[in-house]
Structure 1
Amino acid sequence: MMTNVSVISVIFLSGLNETKAHQRSIIFFFTLMCYCLIILVNVFLILIIILDNTLHEPMYTLLCAFCMNGLYGTACFYPKFLWDLLSPVHVISYSGCLFQAHVVFSFGCCELSMLALMAYDRYLAICQPLKYHTLMSKQRAIQLMCIFWLIPLCIVSVSTFLTSRLKLCSSSINRLFCANWSIVALACFPNETFINGIVVYFVIIIYVLHGVFIVWSYIYIVKRCAKSIENRAKFMQTCVPHLVSVMTFLITTMIDITFMRLDFQDIPKNVQNFVTIEYLFFPPIINPLIYGFKLNKVRNRIFRLFASENK
């Protein structure tokens, strides 16, 4: 038994152990296509927002940050996973494992922070239209965006630091990638993980409050929209994509947390693997597509771009 964290220099990821060689080839092809699509749609939407001056508004600035976060979260998983699919041994350095766990955790926290900030933006636009440009200017949106990014990163950094101090007695994680709680589960002395648990529950409370705020915002938005045909049109145009993003993120995250906490040994391993990565799969693809097709200004800009190229 290894009782010193310094002894463990690599972590073995056993999530692919039951996947056969021909299955890995198929998974590699679809994963590569998926990652290329994620990069394409997110970078494309980011560039459209940056290069088009008519889209330099708070809502589109926040959308740009939202897409950047999607690229940030997926970059820590897909390249390593693609490499593992081609490799007979699936290992990651201990420091690399901590870094990957940090990015995955902070990606999820930043995602919900951005969704809460976007809900606040929609609340002001529909419920406080006269004060909107005062309370949510482009500069104000950038400031809030930076705050809502930095706070999750700082909180998750504390969690990662505490995890790095644990003494581990195992070097095997039965997942496709490193997650903070998976590393904590390897600790030699469970009583040493008490502070880690407190920090995690603190994070959960903070982001449950984010969820409550999103619900509260939409209660007021729906009430206001029910009284105005103009607001109803604005709701369908700008709020529906946001609600789709919220529901996609919450559903995929809750499924992953459920599978992480409970033991589903009867379910095929390939299904378990897909469940563990779905929140790194669906939101980064769905979000830019739903916003690109639903928001008139973005959609019209895309159509104009392709029309000019066809001339």
Structure 2
Amino acid sequence: MNSTNWSDFTLAVYFDIGLLKSLCFLFVLLWYVCIIGANVLLILVICVNRTLHEPMYLFLCSLFVNELYGSSGLFPLILVHILSDSHTVSAPLCFLQIFCLHCYGAVEYISLAVMSYDRYLAICYPLQYNVWMSCSRTGVLIAAAWLYGIIVCLVMVTLSSSLQLCGNVIYKVYCDNFSVVKLACSDITAVNIHGLITILISLGTPLVFILYTYFKILMVCVCGSKQTRQKAVSTCTPHLTSVLHFTVAAMFELLQGRFDMTGMPVLLRIFLSLYWFACQPLLNPLVYGLNLSKIRLLCNRLLSAVGHRAARVQCAPPLTNKPNTVCFMSV
């Protein structure tokens, strides 16, 4: 087969759904709007309230920013392709999406590992927590998670974009690095080595570290007081839920990329490929917003303040100076 550098790629999983096209577009758009709204709300709550300027909430703020970043690298292009009859994407835009999505995944898992370390220190070493988890160290850990994701994905995209390809058809609804590598005719040894190292560092190492920290937390809870157990349950439950969900979703994506799934129904393949990137950005703000009492209380206050302000604007007296003007407001 002749190899070449293709100027565009075809996303072959899209198919004509006729009259359901508009309904599918509205559903995906609503999902994206919910992700943006939920994450932006919690980012504002954390940034505005000084009582939340603590390491745990700063890590959460970084996590919510990453959810916005990852979903914005996925949904706009999907919305365009749902309404479009042509499902091709230019090579630069395809590799840009690969960079965004893989960087999102790497930053997400490293951030979850850093958050487990934060909970480990808070529960196992509460007296030394403020010394060990200072503001400067919190900033360094957040910056390190993002810097790692950016560097790893830059190297990955550089290696993949230099490959000679024998085709340009990707059997997904978005651009995926492994799908591009499978089209290569040139030597992919360097890409495979980098991919293996990246998986071990980005998934394997954080998972082992998270398991270790939770083992230590469990030992402290078994031997500790009722107050310690309550603190562990309240702060660790949302984090553990997020870790388990993201790990399962990552395994779905890895298995689908490494094994032949052509015998699987198309809709199921689309769901499994989108599950990793589409569900986590909405799950995290819901889980943390509902389980952490501080965030839940401040969210309610913020929404109530906005609602009362809007009500006051609607009930403002007219410009005429009539003394008997009455304002009706439903509660």
Structure 1 residue 4: deviation in Å? 2.2
2:8 is matched with 10
Structure 2 counterpart of 1:35, from 16, 27, 32: 32
Q: CA offsets per residue over residues 206-234 of structure 1, 9 Å max, x none?
A: 13011100000000001111222111111
1:269 is matched with 266
For residue 4 of structure 2, what is the amino acid of its counterpart? N
Structure 1 residue 310: deviation in Å? 4.6
2:206 is matched with 210
Counterparts of 1:241-256 in structure 2 under 5 Å? 241-256=238-253
Tell me the secondary structure at the aligned position of residue 240 of structure 1.
helix
Tell me the secondary structure at the aligned position of residue 281 of structure 1.
helix
TM-score (norm 1): 0.95
Tell me the secondary structure at the aligned position of residue 186 of structure 1.
coil
2:114 is matched with 117
Structure 1 counterpart of 2:194, from 170, 174, 199: 199
Matched length: 306
Structure 2 counterpart of 1:106, from 95, 99, 103: 103
For residue 217 of structure 1, what is the amino acid of its counterpart? T
Counterparts of 1:39-54 in structure 2 under 5 Å? 39-54=36-51
Tell me the secondary structure at the aligned position of residue 129 of structure 1.
coil
Q: For residues 43 and 310 of structure 1, what CA distance do their matches in structure 2 show?
A: 17
Which ranges of structure 1 fall in alignment gaps of 5 or more residues? none
Contact kept in structure 2, 1:56 and 1:138, CA below 8 Å? no
CA RMSD of aligned residues (A): 1.2
Q: Which has the higher helix share?
A: 1
Structure 1 residue 2: deviation in Å? 4.8
Q: For residues 261 and 24 of structure 1, what CA distance do their matches in structure 2 show?
A: 30
Q: For residues 83 and 310 of structure 1, what CA distance do their matches in structure 2 show?
A: 34
1:233 aligns with 2:230: yes
Structure 1 residue 299: deviation in Å? 0.8
For residue 248 of structure 2, what is the amino acid of its counterpart? I
For residue 261 of structure 2, what is the amino acid of its counterpart? F
Counterparts of 1:18-29 in structure 2 under 5 Å? 19-29=16-26
1:221 is matched with 217
Tell me the secondary structure at the aligned position of residue 188 of structure 2.
helix
1:284 aligns with 2:281: yes
Q: For residues 147 and 306 of structure 1, what CA distance do their matches in structure 2 show?
A: 34
Which ranges of structure 2 fall in alignment gaps of 5 or more residues? 309-331
From the superposition, tell whether residues 203 and 244 of structure 1 become closer, same or farther in structure 2 (CA, over 3 Å): same
Tell me the secondary structure at the aligned position of residue 12 of structure 1.
strand
Contact kept in structure 2, 1:170 and 1:186, CA below 8 Å? yes
Fraction of identical pairs, as percent? 36
1:159 is matched with 156
